[in-house]
Structure 1
Amino acid sequence: MENSAELQRFIEQEKQKAMLNEMVGKLTNVCWDKCITGTPGSKFSSGETTCLTNCAQRFLDMSMIIAKRFGTMQ
Structure 2
Amino acid sequence: MESSWSSSGGGLGSTDPQLQRFMEMEVQKQRVQLLIHHMTELCWEKCMDKPGPKLDGRAELCLVNCVERFIDTSQFILNRLEQTQKARPLFAESLSD
TM-score calculated relative to the size of structure 2: 0.56
The number of equivalent residue pairs is 71
Q: 2:64 aligns with which of 46, 50, 53?
A: 53
> Quick one: percent identity of the two aligned structures?
37
Q: What letter corresponds to residue 69 of structure 2 in structure 1?
A: R
Instruction: Give unpaired runs (5+ residues) of structure 2.
Output: 1-14, 88-97
Quick check: 1:41 aligned with 2:52? yes
Q: Give the structure 2 partner of residue 31 of structure 1.
A: 43
Rg: which structure is higher? 2
| Greater relative contact order (CA < 8 Å, ≥ 6 in sequence) | 1
The alignment yields a C-alpha RMSD, in angstroms, of 2.4
Q: Give the structure 2 partner of residue 8 of structure 1.
A: 20
- Distance (whole Å) between structure 2 residues aligned to residue 70 and residue 14 of structure 1: 16
What SS is found at the alignment partner of 2:16?
A: helix
- Distance (whole Å) between structure 2 residues aligned to residue 66 and residue 10 of structure 1: 20
